[in-house]
Structure 1
Amino acid sequence: MAHSLESLVIRHTHRLASPEGSSGDGAVAARQFDAALTSVGFKLSAELLDRLSGLSEAAVVHTARRTLRTVSEMVGDHVRHNPYFIDFPANVPDTEDFWIQCVAKALDDDTSRGNVLTQLRQRALDLLSLPAYGRYQHGYEEMLAAHDELIASAGDRVTVLHLGRGLDDELADLYLALAGSTTPLGEDGLRDLRTLAERCALGPQPEAIPVRENRAVVNEARLRAGADLLLDTVTDVLRLACALSSGDVTLREPTRFRALSRPLRRGLLAGLDAVVAANPAKLADVHAHREPFKRLGERLHPHEYPRWPHAAEVFAVARGEKRARSFDSRVEELLDAFDVLGAVKLLKSAPGKLFRALDLLLRIAADQEQRDAVVSAVVEVAPQVSGRVVLSVREHLHNRVRESDEPRVFVNRRGRAFVTPDFRPPVPAADRDRLIAALDAEMRRRLPAPGRLLLDSDVLDVALPLSGRATAAGLGVLPRGSVSAVDGDQLRFFVYWKQARYRTDYDLSALLLHADYSTDSWLSYTSLKAVGGVHSGDVTEAPDGASEFINLSLGRVRSTFVVPQVNIYAGEGFEETEESFFGFMLRDGAQKGRPFEPRTVRMKSELRGVGRVALPLVFRRGGDGRWCAKWLHLYLRGISSGNRVEENQASVSKVVRAIVEREQLTVRYLIDLMSGDTTTVDLWDGGPVPDEPVTYIGLDRPEGLHPDSRIITLENLRDVIPG
């Protein structure tokens, strides 16, 4: 358990909890530890190296083993990556030549010859029936022996591990940061918060837990520990019930409620009773989730607890036995009647709902007087709206400047994307500009004065993390819509998967698009070579794990866009496999090395979406010939089996165009708002840092920052979003 907690701290903070052990001379072991970390793209900070050097050799070795295991998993080096073609990226054959070789080997095999001859006579050949196709023809050690050592480069990734406080303090700080986050966490973040809450729910708490899903996870731990619950709506109780049944606290997916113990049932019913007793109008919230409340009532047996009559009312409303008119139905009635002024008056009592209805209100307003009323109401209630909602609406208004014939993309909480034409009439420019100015002023008011701001320019084009669900778990992963530079001659994608129960075939592919998003060519198992690129070969099953790679020489690629994708051809979905992840590496052409070299990995992200086609990111060549990446984190529905790049190129092109053309609010936007008379902005170029406290914002934390500095990196970038 201790290792998993230490690992959790490293993954979230890139800090190593202050190592414990007897004093001694561990300098040699610490340097060896640092060298071992370098092989996977990590290193010890000077402060951490000094701390380890003062411990005994045994203590250093103990710490090294646990840490190396964690960072290897972070970068994807905990598994064996083996390409089908042993010399990849060298000596990859043409597709047709390779297939002919497989047929020739099958005809030489007595067990397969008859079946293959029959297929050839019928002019239809199943590649999976060829013994040499899709199954490794060499061992991992043989592959290693076929490759030269990687030549170290100054461009290799180096991720610094810093010295943290004691483990208990680090866990408490991380709990407060995750529980008090102003933006929703992803699934992995919620899972880690649950682990931390079991340990920290009775200790210090954040000033507020604004995200309802976070509150549900914390309440679960508090209920089991017998502590007071944090509830102010009946939906809070429903989310808590979902958490107790290991269900979906976002309420997007149905939860099968378990039989609960009497203490847990009493806790839920008492919570419901207290919420309704304090404000009977909260009963109206039941309508939004009537079916889950009905199923929950069957588990809680409220009739057995007459001392909580208000809880019983909740289930009476869910069953339709008691009337409680919902707020949303009153709003819909006014909108259906095009009563904009009446709707605005009502919505001012629910500022978040007013913001979400803003575009519709402006479009159905009959005249300028009504639009002025909408704008005035938004300005009036803006201070009561959460920062992420304000920023989401600000981003939405910015993109409403475009012509309405641009595609409109929808992305749900699980990353599933679909695109439709945008037939909405435009928002009047004058009203849009007034709203944008007002929202900018509101954000400027909320942002703290950073004093001296030290800024890494690489973070400027990172999209604001308005939701953790727009970012996959992993290393070096940026929020959806972020743009990052791609520096290197060789770009190499990789996918790894290990099936849990059934034969599973994932196909790594790359769609190459022209500037107008039309198809140029592709790389896949059906097209092993294209201009500037080669595929490592098709692996069709993964009982012990399997990897596929695509290598691109960027200087030779003629296309404008390169869209890597992972297609599920057969077997288990991304959430069903034992493990599956995607990533990319960058290296210089002269570096050589194995197909997978951990210190060249720039990004590794988990594949855990609900679609059958994964689109992690898109690479784009600019007019100056330089390449950049725009992050997608999207999944397409696809078909149940047989997904191929050739078949989905049209749908992929539409989604890519919609995301690429959309402009996200980035860190640059907030920096511009923070810049003022009281703020000094310095760009950090990798050199020495100031001796005084600063607010540092960047992708990675530099060494030597003053201990009183406020540090914002990729791991806690959500902290830049005001509450």
Structure 2
Amino acid sequence: MVPTLEQLVVRHTLRLPVPSGSTTTPGQGAAAARQFDAALMTAGFKLSSALFARLAGLPRETVTGTAAETLDTLRRRVGDHVRHNVYFRDFPANVPDTHDFWAWCVSEALADDSSRASTLAQLSSGMVDLLTLPSYGTYLHTYEEMLTAQDELIAAAGDRLTVLHLGGEPAEEVSELYLALAGSTTPLGEEALADLAVLAAECVGGPQPGEFPVRENRAVVNAARLRAGASPLLDTVTDVLRLACALADGDVTLREPTRFRALSRPVRRTLLAGLDAVVAASPAKLADVAAHREAWKRLGERLHPHEYPKWPHAAEVFAVARGEKVARSFDSRLEELLDHGDVLGATALLKSAPGRLFRSLDRLLRADWEETPVRQREVRGAVVAAATAVAPAVSGRVLLSVREHLDNRRRGAFGAPRLFVNGSGSAWVTPDTRAGLPASHAERLIESIDAELSRRLPLAENLLVDPEVLDVALPLSGKAVASGVGVLPRGSVTAIEGELLRFFVYWKQTAQSTDYDLSALMLKADYSTQSWLSYTALTGVEGEHSGDITDAPDGASEFINLRLGAVRGRYIVPQVNLFSGEGFEETEESFFGFMLRESEQQGRPFEPRTVRMKSDLRGPGRVALPLVFLRDEDDGRWYAKWMHFHLRGRPASNRVEENRVSVSTLVRGVVERRYLTIRYLVGLLTVAGGNVTLWDGKTLPEEPVTYIGLERPDGLPAGSRVLTPGNLRDIVPA
């Protein structure tokens, strides 16, 4: 389903654009607004007082139309748009022992004429395949029958009620969202990038960002501009390649190959003219072609540059791609200098690419060359001086990434876990065998970065900060962070309040039988295995698994219920294993989440008011690791720390028992890594003299403020700037 522009605004901002309609009959829509509010509350949302008042003054039919569209959007955010059935109808009550359940399945198969012979044959061989038993893996009751067996949810003060706020005029809200996404200083996730494409097509003739810090965003906007007859914005050859990918609905990040389509003559002329202009202005940019040589070759087959001799510089791009013309890359020049131990020469070259210089600092500072200790100190000092000099030209995202890296390097010991994560969330850990960085030089770099970031941060006159957001990691990239509700950047830490922790996974296959398995691995303080819950261990540590579903033509759900007070380990690692069938990126839909509730609340297996986090399952791996729950040794409280990892796993038959070592290694890598958080930036602002107040959760100011928190409180003064997880990327300096 293609979302409307208003739905995009609601999804990204939790603001409802003011509906059009007459307000000449005040109170006409009040009854409909109350019904809308009541329906929202069942899904864990609520109208703000200002929004309720505005809707109450609209015609009833306008309110009901707006309500239907908005409810669908918000229910999808928390996973309430599908039916969540369970294998064990009374879950979490009456979940049997695993072996007793398997024995029952066998007895049911023996009582069935169609399966008796094959089951007896398996028993005689000493091994039974559960998937061949007719009672295993498929629902034995309807969704409605499951509901009748469950008690109603008892409302609790801790249930989630997210406020939906009043927005401005629809056109203004759409334009504002477009400008925010297009001008983002950090890369967007897959869903946000797709939403940007929809918004760009609508807003191509309106206001535009002053700059496009992220090249992928520029490519999406350029595609909209080209389709609207406007000139694309191009200043590198790779901009042209990304634009071609966008026009083919391919991957503008260039991580995956794009199948280019036949292009019309006007489009071909535009792309070739753009290439020609870029290379003519700066022939050195031909060096960028080698990084995507094969993509350029495929694109050349569609552009036919030989048919346009008036653009000879464009033809040079494809000559370089084919190896007919040499354009030495920046990387090759850099590697040659470093191979010869010329650190100063490499540093001088890197000064022309400030971001690359910062990303290379670790390597430059520990370069191994034959020099005296005094000379080594001099060279390292020159590297630090060069970095300090170019720092104003480095993006805020790179400065923050390097600051985080240096902090972990100075804390890490030889052999400590070294965590690698690529743009799609695939992760691995290896012992860190690099030589340590000179402490004094690392400290000087950190001080330099802090000073530069302090200079860039706007000194808010009134900054109001919810303490619960302080340990949220800075969103330096939206890649590999799935869309959903309550989803935070990798490394973020939030407190967990509640007696019961319940995980859920839902998937719906497209063309073939698909079996996902929800599991929870419990680890000790030393990251060794304590126990687990899965389809092979339905009960344990006073927890329950809802039962294994092995086919999902109409959608399927699995749950794990845990009593936090009964967990003896220190870490809880929920995971979704692909046992067979379609991958996470192939299903019609798949998502993971968790709920929190008190033991006396009862309720259905899935209750949207208790959902704290729900994220789409998307990634190339076969094992998804969204987050880890950890118990603090001092106060005994539980916290969640976001991972957003995907393990490659096996092609099929992935099980929690078989990936325990790799999972525990990854968990250690993310738990022991220190991430830069909102607390760091707030600290910089405080030191710089900003007026920073930690919010008490009740008292609201009378004057406009800049508010940073997990959710926007109802009643903030008009004119306040609000930063919540949906737009926390705006806090990252350009």
Q: In the TM superposition, what is the alpha-carbon distance from 1:288 to its structure 2 partner?
A: 1.4
Summarize deviations over 1:75-132 as a string: whole Å, max 9, x none.
1000000111000001100000000111111111111111100000000100011111
Superposition pairs for residues 447-486 of structure 1, below 5 Å?
Answer: 447-486=457-496
Which structure 2 segments of 5+ residues have no match?
370-375
Q: 1:650 aligns with which of 637, 653, 661?
A: 661
CA drift of 1:632 comes to: 0.6
Give the corresponding residue for 1:19.
Answer: 19
Which of 348, 351, 355 aligns to 1:352? It is 355
Which of 541, 553, 567 lines up with 1:531 in the alignment?
541
Distance of aligned partners of 1:19 and 1:216 in 2 relative to their CA distance in 1, 3 Å threshold: same
Alignment CA distance shift 1:421-1:677 (3 Å): closer
Corresponding residue for residue 335 of structure 2: 332
Give the deviation of 1:471 after TM superposition. 2.0
Instruction: Within 5 Å, give how 1:276-355 maps onto structure 2.
Output: 276-355=279-358
Alignment partner of 2:645: what SS? strand
Structure 2 residue 115 is the aligned partner of structure 1 residue 81: no
Match of 1:432 among 442, 452, 457: 442
Q: Deviations over 1:505-540 (max 9, x none)?
A: 000000100000000111000000111311000000
Does structure 2 conserve the Cα–Cα contact (< 8 Å) formed by 1:451 and 1:678?
no
Q: Does 1:90 align with 2:90?
A: no
Partner residue, 2:702: 691
Distance 2:307 2:575 in 1: 54
Closer/same/farther in 2, CA of residues 2 and 285 from structure 1, 3 Å limit: closer
* Distance in structure 1 (CA, Å) of the matches to 2:157 and 2:403: 40
One of 237, 240, 250 as aligned partner of 1:237: 240
In the alignment, does 2:63 pair up with 1:40?
no
- Matching residue's letter, 1:352: G
**Do structure 1's residue 507 and structure 2's residue 514 form an aligned pair?**
no
Moved more, 245-254 or 148-157: 245-254
Give the letter aligned to residue 11 of structure 1: R
Q: Could you say if the C-alpha distance between residues 100 and 137 of structure 1 is closer, same or farther in structure 2, counting changes exceeding 3 Å?
A: same
SS, match of residue 440 in structure 1: helix
Alpha-carbon distance between aligned partners in 2 of 1:221 and 1:598, rounded to the nearest angstrom: 37
Matches within 5 A, 1:566-715: 566-623=576-633, 624-676=635-687, 678-715=689-726
- Give 2:386's match in structure 1, choosing from 377, 385, 388: 377
Alignment partner of 1:242: what SS? helix
| Contact 2:454–2:688, Cα closer than 8 Å, also in 1 | no
1:676 Cα deviation from its structure 2 partner:
3.9
SS in 2 for 1:469: coil
**What secondary structure is seen at the aligned counterpart in 1 of 2:418?**
strand
Distance in 1, matches of 2:494 and 2:297, equals: 48
Match of 1:396 in 2: 405
Q: Distance in 2 between matches of 1:526 and 1:323?
A: 59
SS at match of 2:479: helix
TM-score normalised to structure 2 length: 0.97
Cα contact 2:520–2:533 (8 A) shared by 1: yes
**1:151 counterpart = 2:154:** yes
Output one character per residue of 1:452-509: Cα deviation in whole Å (capped at 9) or x when no partner.
Answer: 1111011000000000115210001000000000000000000000000000000000
- Aligned equivalents of 1:434, 1:92: Cα separation in 2: 59
My pick for the range that moved more, 546-555 or 399-408, is: 399-408
Task: Tell me the distance in 1 between the aligned counterparts of 2:435 and 2:249.
Answer: 43
The answer to whether the Cα contact below 8 Å between 1:106 and 1:130 also exists between their aligned partners in 2 is: yes
Shift of 1:289: 1.4
Q: Provide Cα deviations, 1:138-177, integer angstroms capped at 9, x if missing partner.
A: 0000000001110001100011000101211111000000
> C-alpha offsets along residues 632-655 of structure 1, whole Å, 9 cap, x if unaligned?
111000010000000001110111
Q: Is the 8 A contact 2:480 2:619 kept in 1?
A: no
CA contact under 8 A between 1:22 and 1:59: conserved in structure 2?
A: no
Contact 1:532 / 1:554 at 8 angstroms: preserved in 2? no
Shift of 1:691: 1.0
Give the SS at the match of 1:316: helix
Deviation (angstroms), 1:680: 1.8
**Contact 1:537–1:548 under 8 Å retained in 2:** yes
| Corresponding residue number in structure 1 for 2:259 | 256
- Structure 1, 19-28 or 224-233: larger mean CA deviation: 19-28
Is the CA contact 1:494–1:582 (under 8 Å) kept in the aligned structure 2? yes
**Counterparts of 2:215 and 2:359 in 1: how far apart (Å)?**
18
TM-score normalised by structure 1 residue count: 0.99
Identity over aligned pairs, percent: 68
Alignment partner of 1:102 out of 80, 101, 105: 105
Q: How far apart, CA to CA, are the structure 1 residues paired with 2:299 and 2:482?
A: 31
- State the match for 2:427 in structure 1: 417
- Give deviations 1:276-332, integer Å, cap 9, x for gaps: 111111111112111111111111000111111111111111112122222221111
Contact 1:340/1:365 (<8 A) preserved: no
Q: 1:123-272, aligned counterparts within 5 Å? A: 123-272=126-275
Alpha-carbon RMSD:
1.1
For residues 681 and 279 of structure 1, the distance between their equivalents in structure 2, rounded to whole angstroms, comes to: 46
1:685 shift after superposition: 2.3
Which letter maps to 1:522? Answer: W
How big is the shift at 1:677? 6.2
2:568 aligned residue: 558
d(CA) in 2 for partners of 1:635, 1:432: 32
The aligned residue for residue 495 of structure 1 is 505
Q: Contact (CA 8 Å) 1:470, 1:480: kept in 2 or not?
A: no
Give the conservation status (yes or no) of the 8 Å contact 1:334–1:340.
yes
- CA deviation profile, 1:229-277 (whole Å, cap 9, x unmatched): 1111001101111111111111111112111111111111011011011
4+ runs deviating over 4 angstroms: none
Distance 1:2 1:708, change over 3 A: farther
Q: Assess, with a 3 A threshold, how the Cα gap between structure 1 residues 489 and 609 changes in structure 2: closer, same or farther.
A: same
| Alpha-carbon distance between aligned partners in 1 of 2:683 and 2:689, rounded to the nearest angstrom | 13
